[in-house]
Amino acid sequence: MRTNPSPWTYIPSLYFLEGLPYIIINTVSVVLYADLGFPNDQIAFWTGWLYLPWTLKMFWSPLVDGKSTKRRWLLGAQLAMAAVFLVLAGLNTWNVFDHAQAVNNLSFFSLSLFGFLAGAFVSATLDIATDGYYLLALSAPQQGYFVGIRTIFYRLAMIFGSGILVAATGSLAKHGAEGTAAVTWPHNWSLMFLFLAVLFAGGAFWHRFILPKPSADGPASVQGQNTWADAFRTYFTQKNILYILIFILFYRLGDALLEKIVPLFLLGKAAEGAMGLSVQSYGLIKGTLGLGAIIAGNLAGGWLLGRYGFKKCIWPFAIILILPNFFYIFMAYARPGVALTALLITLEHFGNGLALMAFSVFIMYISQGKYKTSHYAISTGIMALGMMVPSMLSGKWQMQLGYGPYFILVAFISLCTLAVIPLTRKIKSIEETEKAFQNHTMHIGDAD
């Protein structure tokens, strides 16, 4: 092994494994419970609580900063994720054998929810450690070069988890022309969790041998001061903090109101106003067309941000972010066929890939200084709070209004994204950090 291996050997895998638990816990859990027959309001409310660890992670991020190394934290978190998915596989298997119908079993729902919650705490810790390691292991030019690469692989993990993996899981229990299936439903979900357990164990093994040990990767400390308190003090006393908080909380409000409802809408019964897609069709649309769209969106977003800068890109990116919210109004009332549905979802993924690049850059730009790991975690924790509360309310609102009126409400609420964009022009740290990055001309050598 090379003394200093290329970031290409570990950045893609690190961010793929960072993004995968988030989508499994927050989105695939919704698909699982919907497939097992639990009601929309119960699914949305209780899975909404799964955002809590990402909201609270700001409170233990200084612990990750102040104890041991980021490398050790992320290796331990990857092994812990393998254990969590192994437990979830066991719980689903128990549910299948103990309750043949596997429908509305509240004991399974409660236990599996605690399993997902434990996974969420581990995943939030993995986020802190991975992002902190990225900022320490890579030089400033490398950080600029790989910011798009890491975002692409993070998003690839999300599409793989909610798309390809779901489609494969659905196809395992799908009966063919001769009435045969590879696995009896819902054993297929147990196999999915078992696969994830093996994947994370293998990832931890790979990273144990390939990750370099940066000299800067050690406990952060300030003589005579409390690391935890100092990290929060420096974050919340930075210039323009009010503008930063408002932007983080409201930029993705439309996404927050749709994240739990869209899978339920696509998978729900046509008689209830939903699209009636099978689990397999849902996964194929998300995992094939969506996969290509998200890559294209991230690449385009990274290129445009690098060429024109954050402040010139944020307005058109924000418009592209909220436009797909209006697609669901059309889909709820027009009930298009599978082909048009797939096209609209593909366009949504492209827009999200484009627009969320700007959000990633925003978080990176305001996370600088001695406690950059903690500051990054605090920012993403606040973002999680902005996702958690609306998603918890979304199921009840949707069941009260119906899909069509609910999507109309969400589309107009999401316009508040445009109202927070002008605040970014008042945040001085964005301009200062962007200038520092732009002073270095990007070239392929930065990847080494």
Q: How confident is the model at residue 448, as a pLDDT?
A: 42
CB count in 10 Å sphere of residue 330: 14
Would you list the DSSP string of 134-149? HHHHS-HHHHHHHHHH
Structural tokens at position 389: 């509360």
Q: Omega of the bond prior to 214 within 30 degrees of 0, cis?
A: no
The CA distance from 28 to 22, in Å, is: 9
Options 1.10.10.10, 1.20.1250.20, 3.90.226.10, 2.40.240.20; CATH for 7-214+227-440 is 1.20.1250.20
Distance of alpha carbon 326 from its chain centroid, rounded? 22
In the block, residue with structure tokens 């974050």:
235
Residue type, 219: P
Identify the residue with better confidence: 103 or 100: 103
pLDDT per residue as tens digits for the range 147-172: 778 877 887 888 888 888 988 888 88
Q: Is the pLDDT of residue 55 over 90?
A: no
Q: Is the pLDDT of residue 408 over 90?
A: yes
In the block, residue with structure tokens 């357990």:
197
pLDDT per residue as tens digits for the range 126-140: 988 898 888 777 777
Degrees, nearest 5: CA angle 112-176-99: 30
In the block, residue with structure tokens 């929060």:
232
Q: Give just the sign of the alpha carbon dihedral 235, 21, 67, 220.
A: negative
Q: How confident is the model at residue 328, as a pLDDT?
A: 93
pLDDT per residue as tens digits for the range 23-38: 999 889 998 988 888 8
| Helix/strand/coil for 173 | coil
Instruction: Please give the model's pTM, rounded to 2 decimal places.
Output: 0.75
Q: Is the pLDDT of residue 323 over 80?
A: yes
Q: φ and ψ at 273, to 5 degrees?
A: 90, 5
Going by C-alpha positions, the residue among 410, 420, 415, 416 that lies closest to residue 327 is 410
Q: How confident is the model at residue 358, as a pLDDT?
A: 85
Q: How confident is the model at residue 446, as a pLDDT?
A: 41
Burial class of residue 373 (count of CB atoms within 10 Å of its CB; 0-12, 13-18, 19+): buried
Angle between helices 372-401 and 241-250 (to 10 degrees): 40
**Position 430 confidence tier, pLDDT thresholds 50, 70, 90:** confident
Q: Is the pLDDT of residue 223 over 50?
A: no
Distance of alpha carbon 228 from its chain centroid, rounded? 26
Going by C-alpha positions, the residue among 349, 299, 304, 301 that lies closest to residue 324 is 349
Going by C-alpha positions, the residue among 401, 413, 320 that lies closest to residue 359 is 320
